[in-house]
Amino acid sequence: MAGIYIHIPFCKKACTYCDFHFSTSLKYTEEMTDAICRELLLKKDRISGQVGSIYLGGGTPSVLTAAQLNRIFDTLTQHFSIASAAEITIETNPDDLNASKLAELKQLPVNRFSIGTQSFFDEDLRWMNRAHNAAEAESSIKRSQDAGFENLSIDLIYGYPILTDQKWEQNISTAIDLGVPHISAYSLTVEPKTALAANIKKGRQIPISDDQSAEQFQTLIRKLALAGFEHYEISNYALPGRYAVHNTNYWRGIPYLGIGPSAHGFDGTNRYHNIANNAIYLEKLDKNQLAESVEELSNLDRLNEYLMTSLRTMWGTDLEKIERDFGKVYREETRFNIKPFLDNHWLNLEENHFRLSPEGKLFADHIASELFLIEEHESIIRSKKQSE
C-alpha cells in the first residue's frame, strides 16, 4: 500500500547540526496548513488503492495547533482511502508533549510518535541547541505512554565530541529501560551550511571523529541486540515485529506522495521534488499550482536506488529481484561487483541475497557506492545484451 509523507517546515529553534528545510518563524503556519491541504487535493489521483502509512515529519509537526492538524487529517480522510490499520506517525519534540498537547493528539488518528530525544544529558542538548532539556526528554516518553501512545520511536545521536562512551552507554540504557519499541540512532554528520560546519571551520569546535563514531556504533549494536532489538536498517532498531512501516516501504521502493516544501515523492518510476522555499511554495499553491520538479529515473537510477536502500536493511539485496526487474545481465554484473566484498567478509551471500556483515555495516555507504552501475557499465551491458 502507498504512503503519504507531509513535511511541516517549522521549528522553534535551529539545531546546530540540522540541514533539513525549516523556518524558526511560526508566522505562516496557517497559510502553510491551507497550502498543504490544497496540494493533497491536487495530488490525490497520483496514488491508487489504500494508503498504508502517513508520516508527518519536518521540521516539527507538533508545533501546529490542534485545529491545523485536524484540517490536514480531515483532508486526508475525505480524499484518500486510509487503511484501517494504517501506521500514522507524527514527529514530535519532547518539550511539546505536555498533558494538553497529548490530549489534543489523542483526538487525531495518530497512532505512532517519533520523538526527537537525541540525548538524556542537559549539556549535550545545549550543545545541539535543542529546545528541550534532559528531564523533558525522559518525562515526555513516560507521559506519552501514560496517555496510551505505546507505539513510540525515539531518536538518538552519537559520535559528537562531548559524548563520552560512558554517557552513550547510559543513553542507550535509559532508552531500553523506558520500554520504547523502536530506536533510530544516527552518527552525527557535518552538513554544509550548518552552524556546526561553520564552527568547525572557524576552529571553535572539535572536528567529528570517525573512530569515535565507529566505536559508539558498535556499542549501540551490541547493547540493543542484548535487549532483544533487531538491527533491521543501518540507523534503525526495533523489537521483533515493531519495524517502522512507512520507512520500511521507502526502502522497499513502494510509491508515496511527498507533500509540503522540500518533500520528495515517488510513483514507482519518477521522483518528484518540491521546492525548499516556503514563500515560493505558498505562492504557487495559492494559485493551485504545484511547486515541484520531476526527475525521470532511468533503469540505472532505479537499480542504484535499490542497491543503496536494500543493502542498508537486514533483508539485504535480492539478486533474483535484480534479474526480474532489470534483467539477467544486471544481476551478473552485480554478482561480479560484490565479489571483493564477499572475499573481505564485508558482505555475506545466502540464498541469492547479499547482506552486510557486522564489519561491513561500518562501511555501508562505501560498499553501496562501489556497487553503483554507471553509464559506462550501461554501454557494456547493452553490448552483452546484443551479443546474446
Q: Give the C-alpha separation, 292 to 273, whole Å.
A: 5
Q: What is the mean pLDDT of residues 11-35?
A: 88
Contact 167, 128 (CB under 8 A): no
Going from N- to C-terminal start, the domains of the chain cover: 2-250, 299-387
* Three-state DSSP state, 131: coil
* pLDDT grade for 196, boundaries at 50, 70 and 90: confident
**CATH class label, 299-387:** mainly alpha
Q: Report the alpha-carbon distance of residue 204 to residue 206 in Å, rounded.
A: 7
Task: Enter the C-alpha cell of residue 384.
Answer: 552483452
- CB neighbour list of residue 81: distance below 8 Å, 6 or more residues apart: 49, 50, 51
The CATH fold assigned to 2-250 is TIM Barrel (3.20.20)
- Residue 311 confidence (pLDDT) above 60: yes
CB 101 within 8 Å of CB 139: no
Please determine, for residue 382, whether its predicted confidence score (pLDDT) is greater than 80: no
Q: Given this model, what pLDDT does residue 204 score?
A: 83
pLDDT at 375: 62
Please state the separation of Cα 163 from the chain's center in Å: 23
Residue 383's pLDDT band (boundaries 50, 70, 90)?
Answer: low
Convert the pLDDT of each residue in 28-72 to its tens digit: 999 999 999 999 999 999 998 999 999 999 999 999 999 999 999
Q: pLDDT of 140-186, one tens digit each?
A: 999 999 999 999 999 999 999 999 999 999 999 999 999 999 999 99
Count the Cβ atoms, other than its own, within 10 Å of residue 204.
Answer: 10
Length of the chain, please? 388
Q: Report if pTM > 0.85.
A: yes
| For the chain, percent of residues with pLDDT exceeding 90 | 83
Q: What grid cell was written down for 21?
A: 528545510
The answer, yes or no, to whether residue 240 has pLDDT greater than 60, is yes
Is the Cβ–Cβ distance between 90 and 97 less than 8 Å?
no
- pLDDT of 384 reads 53
Locate all alpha helices (DSSP H) within the chain, ordered by sequence: 29-42, 66-79, 99-106, 122-128, 134-146, 165-177, 195-201, 210-226, 245-252, 278-286, 299-311, 319-326, 328-337, 339-343, 364-371, 375-387
For residues 1 and 52, give the distance between their C-alpha atoms in angstroms, rounded to a whole number: 5
Query: Sign of the CA dihedral 341, 345, 346, 349?
Result: positive
DSSP notation for 335-365: HHHTHHHHHTTSEEEETTEEEE-TTGGGGHH
3-state DSSP percent of the chain in helix, strand and coil, to 5 = 45, 20, 35
241 exposed, middle or buried (CB, 10 Å; 0-12, 13-18, 19+)? Answer: exposed
Beta strands 353-356 and 317-318 are: antiparallel
**pLDDT at residue 381 is higher than 90:** no
Question: How many whole angstroms separate alpha carbon 221 and alpha carbon 231?
Answer: 7
